[in-house]
Amino acid sequence: MQGGHFSGIYRKVQLKPLKWVKIPKSDGDGEEERPVEALMVLKYGGVLTHAGRKQVYYHSVSENNCKI
């Protein structure tokens, strides 16, 4: 099996938590939930929404530290 190429604005990866456990907080004040099992969803294709275009613009400007 060879590795693939997964990049571009029409592709995304989602992690959806499936199973949670309660663990004590580090300060001893109660409990918090943490995911211990997740589903990875790879999506590609489709039409970019208006909100998606704004996110692409925001992240490209902040990641590349440049003005468009």
Name the amino acid, one letter, at 26: S
What pLDDT is stored for residue 34 in this prediction?
A: 94
Tokens 């995911």 correspond to 35
In eight-state DSSP terms, residue 10 is: T
Are 41 and 48 in contact, with CB atoms under 8 Å apart?
no
Q: What is the mean pLDDT of the chain?
A: 80
**Nearest CA-CA partner of 15 in 45, 36, 44:** 36
Is residue 49 within 8 A of residue 57, CB to CB? The reply is no
pLDDT in tens, 7-40: 666 777 889 999 999 999 888 889 999 999 999 9
